[in-house]
Structure formats: structure tokens, C-alpha cells
């Protein structure tokens, strides 16, 4: 009994210190309502991922996994934001081939409509700043154009719709110097996304398998 009690207390403290979720899909609607109207979390991030082949070493859902993790971190750093469920599909027609099974592509029209529908529901929910983002290269132009259009539509209601291209372009550009490294002992992957998978993967070596990417 004397040994069990400290463990119970320690477990309770760990649970109490666990940060509150910022992802809508992990919250109840009363929690979301409270976050928006009582805690000032009036910004929502709509992050688009993707499901596609990205080389024999990388799992198909890499864009989605990275987007989910990055969005969570951004929301926590902002302090006034929540995260909509990450959309796992993007325009990627070039990769829909028999030799690359598992890739799922949506048209740019459908992609735009999906994001437009999510934005409309976030407006109804009470968010005042809605940010469109994408981890996948395909669809960036559509997100930017949609943000401009919807911002004009909703601004009279006090709602702003924004496009954040830095989530894709800045991360890519900041990583470029590392791609020029010539150290043969260093695992070099084609872009920063694969390195992100190595870092974020819950099962080391599974999300991005280094057996395929080691330089000789």
C-alpha cells in the first residue's frame, strides 16, 4: 500500500500537467465553444496534407503526418489557435500510376471546394482568423487564390481568411543548404519532408526508411 500511493499521486500529477488539446477532432463541442468564446482561441489552422508515393523509403502519408505535427506546434506557440482536422488529399495526378500504388489525388476544383466548405463551417463555429496552409506542393496556388476570395467574402462579417505559404516554401528553402552537404556518413534525403519524417516518426526508421537513403 505504501508503494502504491506514491505511484497513484505521480500518475495524477502527470495527467494534470498534460496540455489541453488544440486539435478539433480531439475535443468535444463544449470544449471547442469554451476555447473560442471564453479562452480567446479565435484562430483556426486548416492544414492540407497528402497521400502519395514519395520514394521507396517514405510512407505515403508523410505530408499528412508532418502537417498534423507542425499545425499542433504552431497552434500552441500562437496560444490563440486551434487546428482543424488535416485534410489527407491534395492534387497529385502525376503520381497516380500502377507502379506507385496507394497514391490518392483529387482535382484542383475538388481540392478548392473541400477547403471552401471547411472555411464556411469554421466561420459558423465563431473563428475570426482562418488560415489556409498546405504541406504538399500541389494546391498552393489554389489555397492562395481561395484565401483572397473568401477573405473578401467574409471580411464584412469581421472574419479574415489568410493563406500561409511559409508553411511550405520557407521550410523548403531553409532546408536547401543541407542538401548540398557531401558528408558520406550523413543520411541525405531528397528534401526536408523526409528528414521531418525521420524526426517525427513514432516508429523510428518506419516513416522514412534510411536503408533506401544512405549515401555511399
Among the ranges given (112-126, 129-143, 173-187), the one the predictor scored with the smallest mean pLDDT: 173-187
User: What value does the mean pLDDT take over residues 58-69?
Assistant: 91
Digit-coded pLDDT (tens) for 156-188: 999 999 999 998 877 667 666 655 654 444 344
Question: Mind listing the pLDDT tens digit for each residue in 88-109?
Answer: 999 999 999 999 999 999 999 9
For CA atoms 169, 82, 91, 105, give the dihedral sign.
Answer: positive
What is the pLDDT at residue 151? 98
Whether 191 shows a pLDDT value over 50: the answer reads no
Alpha carbons 36 and 82: distance in angstroms, whole number? 9
Task: Give the sign of the dihedral formed by CA 202, CA 196, CA 76, CA 47.
Answer: negative
Q: Domains in the chain and their CATH numbers?
A: 18-166 (3.40.50.10310), 174-216 (no CATH)
Do residues 185 and 195 make contact, with C-beta atoms less than 8 angstroms apart? no
Amino acid at each position: 500500500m505504501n508503494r502504491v500511493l506514491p505511484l497513484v499521486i505521480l500518475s495524477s500529477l502527470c495527467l494534470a500537467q498534460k496540455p489541453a488539446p488544440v486539435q478539433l477532432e480531439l475535443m468535444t463541442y463544449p470544449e471547442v465553444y469554451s476555447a473560442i468564446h471564453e479562452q480567446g482561441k479565435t484562430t483556426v489552422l486548416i492544414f492540407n496534407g497528402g497521400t502519395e508515393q514519395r520514394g521507396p523509403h517514405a510512407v505515403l502519408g508523410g505530408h499528412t503526418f508532418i502537417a498534423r505535427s507542425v499545425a499542433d506546434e504552431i497552434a500552441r506557440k500562437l496560444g490563440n489557435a486551434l487546428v482543424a482536422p488535416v485534410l489527407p488529399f491534395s492534387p497529385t495526378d502525376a503520381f497516380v500510376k500502377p507502379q506507385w500504388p496507394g497514391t490518392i489525388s483529387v482535382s484542383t476544383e475538388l481540392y478548392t471546394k473541400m477547403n471552401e466548405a471547411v472555411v464556411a463551417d469554421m466561420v459558423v463555429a465563431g473563428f475570426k482568423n482562418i488560415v489556409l496552409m498546405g504541406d504538399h506542393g500541389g494546391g498552393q496556388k489554389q489555397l492562395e487564390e481561395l484565401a483572397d476570395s473568401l477573405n473578401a467574402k467574409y471580411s464584412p462579417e469581421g472574419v479574415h481568411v489568410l493563406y500561409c505559404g511559409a508553411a511550405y516554401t520557407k521550410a523548403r528553402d531553409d532546408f536547401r543548404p543541407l542538401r548540398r552537404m557531401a558528408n558520406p556518413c550523413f543520411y541525405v534525403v531528397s528534401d526536408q519532408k523526409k528528414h521531418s519524417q525521420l524526426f517525427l516518426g513514432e516508429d523510428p526508421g518506419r516513416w522514412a526508411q534510411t536503408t533506401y537513403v544512405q549515401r555511399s
